[in-house]
Chains A and B, each alone.
Chain A
Amino acid sequence: NAGVTQTPKFQVLKTGQSMTLQCAQDMNHNSMYWYRQDPGMGLRLIYYSASEGTTDKGEVPNGYNVSRLNKREFSLRLESAAPSQTSVYFCATYIGFNTEAFFGQGTRLTVV
């Protein structure tokens, strides 16, 4: 019963490098979300996918792209990392509105 699994857990990138953060859920939920969490601030929504085959921008989408590969997997890509993207990234999923959301353990990304 893994729930929501994120990989990697930690990553250090140089400015300009690219990488993909992976998220997989085994709960058969339709909706998946990517958030970033910065010190002293609440989680902010980057992108979300309401269902397989659809993606939409959230509050802070600039510098990111996403892919909803199938119902289980939702990846977040940084094409050219910047120091401002240093953050902790969380993937979340839930079955429908007004139901409990489940979060992954997070990916701590540092861009130098």
Chain B
Amino acid sequence: GESVGLHLPTLSVQEGDNSIINCAYSNSASDYFIWYKQESGKGPQFIIDIRSNMDKRQGQRVTVLLNKTVKHLSLQIAATQPGDSAVYFCAVSSGGYNKLIFGAGTRLAVHP
């Protein structure tokens, strides 16, 4: 069946470094991709999204890269801060939020 996976369950970085969180998906018909941040005890919070007609999108300190050829998605966080410590999920859709598949998440730990 369709799957969405992340490459690492935990990522540790030093404060100020750049972080890269990766995600692989299986359905080549996927057309909408979202990254969420979830802090302990809270619901997921939207970070950034990208549609399949794009390969890069930038937000404030975050960049999402999409490689449809290898079905790979990444989230880059520039100058990582302690407040970035959280679990990051990618979610992939092949048509509508009712078809959104979530990855298991990568825990980002930022050390001073």
Contacts and interface: CB of A to CB of B under 8 A. Distances in A.
Interface of A: 4, 31, 33, 40-45, 48, 50, 56, 58, 90, 92, 94, 97-98, 100-106
B10 to A, nearest CB: 12
B100 interface: yes
7 contacts: A42-B103, A42-B105, A94-B97, A97-B32, A97-B97, A98-B49, A101-B34
Interface of B: 4, 32, 34, 41-46, 49, 51, 89, 91, 96-98, 100-105
Contacts, number: 53
A105 B98 contact: no
A33 B97 contact: yes
A42 B25 CA distance: 13
Nearest to B105: A42
B43 A104 contact: yes
B89 A43 contact: yes
B29 to A, nearest CB: 15
Given A43-B89, A90-B43, A103-B43, A98 B100 contact: no
Contacts of A104: 43
A29 to B, nearest CB: 11
Contacts of B45: 103
A46 B66 CA distance: 28
Q: Which of B34, B102, B103 has the most CB of A within 10 A?
A: B102
B104 A101 contact: no
